[in-house]
Amino acid sequence: MARSATDVMQDILYAAVVDALDALKGASKGVPNTLLRDIGAIHANSTFGDLPKELQAAITANVRSAFNRLLKEGYSVSHADAPPQRHAPPRHDVPRSGRPGGGPGKPGQRRPSGPDRPSGPGKPSGPRPPGGGGRPGASRPGGGRPSGGKPRGPGGGGR
């Protein structure tokens, strides 16, 4: 039975962590204070070069062994020099929008206007109700103006 990628990766990471701890113990030569100092020196911004040489060697060996194990388990791993995988080119026979021709319109093509113009989604179809256009409140006294009064002419009634 083939193992899942999660199980394989968990085994690989567990082995890598155990090997790294053994490498840190070896780098400290059995001195507890040196081991604690080496562990304390590792932080989120540590680089590979900041690690003890024994730990660097263990990480390198574990990475190599992880790729070999993934290949042995049947997973595909590509080389760093391999060209990127080619995906199928995009199909051009299906328009991206719902219109024939694909885009918002062809150059020189005009959209229909007037009563024959098709209504889109969310647009009411049919004739408009009487008095439906214009500014809200236009039928009230004040003509829908924010100030509610008469329009001000030139030089007339500023605040």
Question: How many residues in the chain?
Answer: 159
Residue 88 located in a structural domain: no
25 within a domain of the structure (yes/no): yes
Would you give per-residue pLDDT tens digits along the chain (159 residues)? 577 888 888 999 999 999 999 999 999 988 989 999 999 999 999 999 999 999 999 999 999 999 888 888 888 877 778 777 777 777 666 655 555 555 555 566 666 666 655 556 656 666 666 665 566 666 666 665 666 566 666 765 555
Residue 141's alpha-carbon distances to 18, 76, 133, 144, 147, in angstroms, are: 84, 77, 17, 7, 11
The pLDDT, as a whole number, for residue 117 is: 59
Task: Report pTM.
Answer: 0.47
Specify if 105 maps to a domain.
no
Please report whether residue 98 resides in a domain.
Answer: no
In a domain, 134, yes or no: no
Q: List % helix, strand, coil for the chain (3-state, nearest 5).
A: 35, 0, 65
Has residue 108 been placed in a domain?
Answer: no
- 32 within domain boundaries: yes
Parent domain of 34: 5-73
Residues 6+ apart with CB under 8 A from 134: 144
**What domain count does the chain have?**
1
The rounded distance, in Å, linking the Cα atoms of 40 and 35 is: 9
For tokens 């990127």, the residue is 84
Assess if residue 147 is contained within a domain.
no
